[in-house]
Every structure is written in C-alpha cells, then in structure tokens.
C-alpha cells in the first residue's frame, strides 16, 4: 500500500480527520499518511491469518484475541498510530489515553508484505513495533510466494530471533500464543 503524506497536525486533529473522512491514516509525530488499498492476495492473506488465529485460539479456550486491520495501534513512546494487518492481544484490551478506539498492548503483530511496503515493514515499522513493551512476535507474510518470517523475543528480553517458514507443506509456529498453523491454510486460495 502506498501512502500519501500530510504534515504537521496534532493527534487530536489526526483523530478528527479520520472520523470526518472515514479514511484510515498512519500518524507519526505530526505527519499523517493516507493508506491506499491492497491487492486481492493481500486481502485473502489478511482474512486467512485472522480466521486461522481466531479458530486456533478459540479451540484452546485462550484469553487471547485476534484483531483485524480495522483496529488502530497506538505506539505511545513514538507518538505513532498505525493499522497492522492483524494483531493478537492476550488478556484485557488496553486503550490509548488519546483515542479510545486505539489499542496499545499487542503480543503479536502480523504484516502482509507488498512491493511498496516491504522495506518499511522490515525496517522503520519494525523499529516502531520494537518499542511496544508487550510485543513478543512480529510476523511478515509474503504474498507472491509461500514464505513467512517470524521474529520472536521472550518477554523482558531485547534479543529477537528470526525463523523463516517456506513451502505450503510447512507448519508455522507462533510461540507467543502457542499456536501452530499450516502454510497451506494461510495461503488458501492465494495465487502464488
């Protein structure tokens, strides 16, 4: 998704802009970026990861819940608001002090990569996400090949470990929520 930059507004103005326009924007310290739409593969992968996580967590009777990209994430330390493709929150949902429709406490974040966002998702966005105290796992899903990178760290540690899962016969492990997922389910109906 390509973003169009609009500069120098307050958090309150940003929230009002979203409410008035009905458009989602990322906010980074006074600058907002209008988000463009994604591809069919992007939409399928977002739906698949959300539904598979929801089903697996429900089977386990887990207190963790997945959230779609309709939910905004506030990264307090960085004065940023973003829309991850999917998040998982365990326990209670903590809301932003400035925007009650934003959450602050995901344990797992998923982004589906595209040509226009891959560098951002792997670089600056991951840097932002690392500032979230509750975050333990960051998942990057390729949409044109069966490949998923999972960055994991134990709570309280600063050391991130990366695992790469490739091929439709592989099973992905999400350590933070104790869930395994078949790549064939994640890539169901996705053209690769």
Q: Where are the domains of the chain?
A: 39-186
Is residue 120 within 8 A of residue 3, CB to CB? The reply is no
Is residue 128 within 8 A of residue 80, CB to CB? The reply is yes
| Alpha carbon distances (Å) from 111 to 42, 64, 102, 117 | 10, 18, 18, 10
Q: Count CB atoms within 10 A of the CB of residue 189.
A: 10
In which band, very low, low, confident or very high, does the pLDDT at 41 lie, cut at 50, 70 and 90? Answer: very high
Q: Which residues pair with 65 in a beta bridge?
A: 89
In which band, very low, low, confident or very high, does the pLDDT at 137 lie, cut at 50, 70 and 90? Answer: very high
Question: Which has the higher per-residue pLDDT, 156 or 139?
Answer: 139
Superfamily of domain 39-186: tt1808, chain A (3.90.1570.10)
2, pLDDT greater than 50: no
In which band, very low, low, confident or very high, does the pLDDT at 6 lie, cut at 50, 70 and 90? Answer: low
pTM summary value: 0.92
pLDDT tens digits for 88-135? 999 999 999 999 999 999 999 999 999 888 999 999 999 999 999 999
pLDDT of residue 1: 41
> What percentage of the chain carries pLDDT values higher than 90?
73
Mean pLDDT estimate for the chain: 92
Using CA atoms of 106, 190, 144, 109 in order, give the dihedral in degrees to the nearest 10.
0
């Amino acid at each position: 998704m390509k973003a169009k930059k609009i500069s120098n507004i307050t958090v309150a103005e940003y929230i009002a802009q979203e409410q008035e326009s009905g458009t989602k924007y990322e906010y980074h310290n006074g600058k907002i970026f209008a988000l463009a739409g994604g591809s069919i593969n992007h939409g399928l992968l977002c739906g698949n990861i959300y539904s598979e996580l929801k089903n697996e967590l429900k089977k386990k009777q887990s207190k963790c819940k997945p959230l779609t990209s309709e939910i905004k994430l506030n990264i307090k330390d960085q004065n940023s608001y973003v829309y991850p493709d999917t998040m998982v929150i365990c326990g209670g949902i903590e809301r932003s002090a400035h925007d009650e429709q934003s959450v602050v406490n995901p344990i797992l974040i998923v982004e589906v990569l595209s040509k226009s966002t891959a560098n951002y998702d792997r670089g600056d966005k991951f840097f932002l996400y690392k500032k979230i105290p509750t975050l333990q796992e960051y998942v990057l899903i390729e949409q044109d090949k069966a490949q998923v990178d999972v960055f994991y760290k134990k709570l309280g540690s600063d050391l991130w470990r990366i695992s790469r899962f490739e091929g439709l016969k592989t099973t992905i492990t999400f350590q933070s929520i104790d869930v395994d997922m078949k790549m064939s389910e994640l890539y169901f109906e996705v053209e690769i």
